[in-house]
Amino acid sequence: MIKSINNISALKLINEVDNLLILDVRRFSEFKSGKIPNSINIPVDDLEFELDELNEFKEKPILVYCKSGIRSTVACTLLEEEGFSNLYNLRGGILDYTGNIE
């Protein structure tokens, strides 16, 4: 199930959930220019080919984000179709995120 969450909910999730995977689905050049701490980068265009890398997280919470929320919605849909069950889409993407950026 995909839950679309706002910035405040995302910050709470990041601060309170120990086994959270933070997945940035922007291009690598965007990722290098600033990211949510502890996030990993798999661009949405590569995601279907990198699913094996994420298999251990099928049941764990995953926060997915991009620049504005569009690519992360696409990524969440793909992940849900592949059996991932605990997905959070950051509505508004990193543009709306007010937490730490590294």
- Among 23, 66, 87, 90, which one carries the catalytic annotation? 66
Is 76 tagged catalytic?
Answer: no
**Does residue 99 have a pLDDT over 90?**
yes
Q: What is the pLDDT of residues 11-47, one digit of tens each?
A: 999 999 999 999 999 999 999 999 999 999 999 999 9
Average pLDDT of the chain?
Answer: 96
Across 1-102, where does the E strand assignment appear? 2-5, 21-24, 39-41, 62-65, 87-90
DSSP state string for 47-65:
GGGSGGGGGGGSSS-EEEE
For the chain, the domains span: 2-96
| Predicted local confidence at residue 44, as pLDDT | 98
Cα dist from 59 to 50, 53, 56, whole Å: 17, 14, 8
The secondary structure element, H or E, covering residue 26 is: none
In the chain, what percentage of residues exceed pLDDT 70? Answer: 100
**CATH: 3.40.50.620, 3.20.20.480, 3.40.250.10, 3.90.1150.200. Which one for 2-96?**
3.40.250.10
